[in-house]
Amino acid sequence: LAKTTQPISMDSYEGQEVNITCSHNNIATNDYITWYQQFPSQGPRFIIQGYKTKVTNEVASLFIPADRKSSTLSLPRVSLSDTAVYYCLVGVPQGGGKLIFGQGTELSVKP
């Protein structure tokens, strides 16, 4: 099972780009990397998922280097509403292999 390591917390200001890095040194060949956003009292919200190189959608980008031992979630021009906990999950989407979450990164965006 791939273990993930993320910073416990990060601070940013409105309008800045925020990059959150996740380390996953023992990622398996078939594993994907998925990022979630969670607000208090809500379920984790799927943000973005990738296998290698770069993936971009309307809310974020995901950068994965060639060795896949880490990944970086990039949030462009954050606002106060991006204050949340962000989780990196490594595993096969079809589960079976027990999708285990790490401790997450608490992002605080200030005005």
Partner 1 sequence: NAGVTQTPKFRILKIGQSMTLQCAQDMNHNYMYWYRQDPGMGLKLIYYSVGAGITDKGEVPNGYNVSRSTTEDFPLRLELAAPSQTSVYFCASSSSGTGPFFGPGTRLTVL
Q: Site residues (CB under 8 A) for partner 1?
A: 34, 36, 41-46, 49, 87, 93-96, 98-104
Q: How far apart are the first and last CA of the chain?
A: 39
Q: How far is the CB of 110 from partner 1 (least distance, A)?
A: 21
Minimum distance from CB of 94 to partner 1 (Å)?
Answer: 4
| Rounded Cα gap, residues 10 and 83, in angstroms | 10
Residue 104 beta carbon to partner 1: minimum distance, rounded to whole angstroms: 6
Q: Which is nearer to partner 1, 72 or 106 (CB)?
A: 106
Please name the residues in contact with 37: beta carbons below 8 A apart, sequence gap of 6 or more. Answer: 44, 45, 47, 82, 84, 85, 86
Q: Which CB, 12 or 87, lies closer to partner 1?
A: 87
- The Cα–Cα gap between 23 and 5 comes to 5
The nearer residue to partner 1, 10 or 16, going by C-beta atoms, is 10
Cβ nearer to partner 1, comparing 42 with 81 = 42
Q: What one-character DSSP code corresponds to residue 60? A: -
CB of 78 to partner 1, least distance (A): 22
Helix boundaries (H) for 1-111: none
